[in-house]
Amino acid sequence: MGIFSRLGWFFKRRWRQYSFGVLALLLVAACNVVPPRIVGNVVDAVSKRNMSMQFLFVNLGLLLVVAILGYILRFVWQKMIFGSSYVLERDLRNRLFHHFMKMDTTFYKKWRTGDLMAHATNDIDAVREVAGPGVLTLADSLITGLSMIFAMGIFVDWKLTLYAILPLILLAVMANVLGNKIHDAFMDSQAAFSSINNKTQESIVGIKVVKALGQESEDEADFDKYVDKNINANKKTYRLNAMFDPLTSIIMGLSYVITIILGGLAVIHSRITIGQLVSFITYMAELTWPMFAIGSLFNILERGSASYDRIIELLSEKSSLVIPKHEVKDQPRGTLDFEMKKFHYPDGNVSALKDVSFNLGEGQTLGIVGPTGGGKSTIISLLMRDFDHYNGQITVGEHDIRDFKLDDYLDNIGYVPQTNFLFSTNIRDNIRFANIDADQSQVEAAAYVADLDTDIKGMPEGYDTQVGELGVSLSGGQKQRLSIARAVLSNPELLILDDSLSAVDSKTERNIENRIAQNRTSGTTIIAASRLSSVEHADQILVVEDGTISEKGTHKQLLDNRGWYYDTFNLQERNAEIEGRLNTRG
């Protein structure tokens, strides 16, 4: 029952609808009291042989009026109570989605996609059930139950009523004993469902790898384990739940036995009439539904309560990103100053960056290179404000980047990540994702900069070509270039390419670099790359090794330096030469 008070904020907001709904339920219950009373009266009239046609028609008419009224009132409560429960579902869904949108990288590392999906679907459904069928079942079973008990007492006999409902105490005891166990079982069952979701999502996304490595049967066996775990958790829940219904039948049986013995004696001793006993038994039959409803109510409430706990746990997660007390309203533009004394990832204990500093004037291009795992993407992560806690400072035009509102800051960045993400829509909408009002000429100009225009023109449906889920219908290089077009479309103040030219050939790479340079008359560009030719023309190049800058300068200065850059450049040039020769021969 605690779930009702925890959802109090919502019931308060919708108190009018719930009050109307419960009032309609009350009136339905009042309508339900009438038919047994009429049946009792008719039975008495028949047994006393004094029933007239008029008496019969009046009673039949009354039954009809009550039936119509009941229909209207049922419509009202459904609209009020179930309608409100869908409002709760919408609110929780929106809150959760908004929360997902503002959470940081650490949150997404902790929670897996399947888990989040389960919260956003299964758990929210379970909470909606509390606000809809849960409220209905509670109100209806209470109203019907109490009105039937009052009718039995008032129209027949209070003493007989008390004896008849005595076995109900057993039900309360059982509910108390099973309550916590059912809650825990539901928690386990929802967690097992989340795991299945995770597993399914991972297997489907990684299906190519699974097949390529011939792991289908192993993956299926692994999936079966998750299903078994889920089934066992569900079995436990339903075993506990199943203890309710048989007990309810026993309690009802006991009540009937008491009624027949004591009611029969009361008729024999003329304390009540036969008609009253018939009414009493009809009222008792009406009590059956509320009794069984308590079992299903328990199910709904405990499931909803476990799900609400899970949703609240998720919503209470805080983003570690700084929310500035006084937001800087200026545009984040100007010289970029990066001074990082030390940074380590929240879950790492060694520094991913140590004493990394550089200064980049407006309009300049910075290249970041270095061996794999050196720290290139980490520098970009910090610029993208994936993490705000470090020993150092990053400023853009005099302002610490943490003093900008995150959205305002990121709006000025065009970012092409290492692993590009495409939406399952057409090429045009993928390019203008960050600027959906961009017209066709802007989209085409961006595609030209990314050297993708010729590819698109060659496709039968051109810019209307659907890219499929995650861009399955495009080649790796096309996906990369589409991501670049998306980033350059809004002519961002800071353009960041994180190893995003790795899947294109050297000629295309050169085209893109030249076009970006021509296109970007203002604004700063940062290119992180494994291939040194990508940064050759940068105004400044950093070599990042083991989280620190080992070399710094222009291409020429770094070659003169004869260090890692010199060695790697020569190696890559030789490889490119060999590749070129092989291609000409082929």
Ligand X SMILES: Nc1ncnc2c1ncn2[C@@H]1O[C@H](COP(=O)(O)OP(=O)(O)OP(=O)(O)O)[C@@H](O)[C@H]1O
For 377, the token pair is: 């993407």
Tokens of 504: 């294109």
Stretch of residues binding ligand X (CB under 6 A), selected from 55-63, 167-175, 188-196, 346-354: 346-354
Residue among 182 and 340 whose Cβ is closer to ligand X: 340
Confirm or reject binding of residue 367 to ligand X (CB under 6 A): no
Phi, psi torsion values for 369, nearest 5 degrees: -130, 175
- Which helix (H) or strand (E) is 338 found in, with range? strand 336-343
The closest of 284, 177, 298 to 241, measured between CA atoms, is: 298
Near ligand X by CB under 6 A: residue from 141, 190, 377, 483: 377
- Supply the minimum distance, in Å, between the C-beta of residue 11 and ligand X: 42
Residue 378 lies near ligand X (rule: CB under 6 A):
yes
Q: How far apart are CA 285 and CA 247, in angstroms?
A: 16
Q: How far is the CB of 208 from ligand X (least distance, A)?
A: 22
Strand partners, 415: 496
485 binding ligand X? (CB under 6 A)? no
Q: Which is nearer to ligand X, 233 or 380 (CB)?
A: 380
Using rule CB under 6 A, residue 500 touches ligand X? no
Nearer to ligand X, 20 or 345 (CB): 345
Mask: binding to ligand X, 513-552, rule CB under 6 A, as x and -?
Answer: -----------------x----------------------
Strand pairing report for 494-498 and 413-416: parallel
Task: Count Cα neighbours of 92 within 13 Å in the Cβ-side half-sphere.
Answer: 29
> Does 373 help bind ligand X (rule: CB under 6 A)?
yes
The answer to whether 27 and 69 are in contact (CB under 8 A) is: yes
Name the pairing type of β-strands 399-400 and 413-416. Answer: unpaired
- Compute how many residues bind ligand X; rule: CB under 6 A: 13
Nearest-approach distance from CB 547 to ligand X, in angstroms: 7
Q: Rule CB under 6 A: say whether 460 interacts with ligand X.
A: no
Using CB under 6 A, which of 372, 454, 583, 584 touches ligand X?
372
Helix (H) or strand (E) holding 391: strand 391-396
Interaction of residue 580 with ligand X, rule CB under 6 A: no
- Measure the CA–CA gap between 248 and 163, rounded to whole angstroms: 17
Name the residue nearer to ligand X (CB basis): 183 or 376. 376
- In degrees rounded to 5, what are phi and psi of residue 457? -60, -30
Segment interacting with ligand X, rule: CB under 6 A, options 181-189, 259-267, 371-379, 394-402: 371-379
Q: Residue 498 forms beta bridges with which residues?
A: 528
375 sits near ligand X (criterion: CB under 6 A): yes
Stretch that binds ligand X, among 84-92, 132-140, 341-349, 550-558 (CB under 6 A): 341-349
For residues 490 and 515, give the distance between their C-alpha atoms in angstroms, rounded to a whole number.
15
Residue ranges that bind ligand X, judged by CB under 6 A: 345, 347-348, 352, 370, 372-378, 530
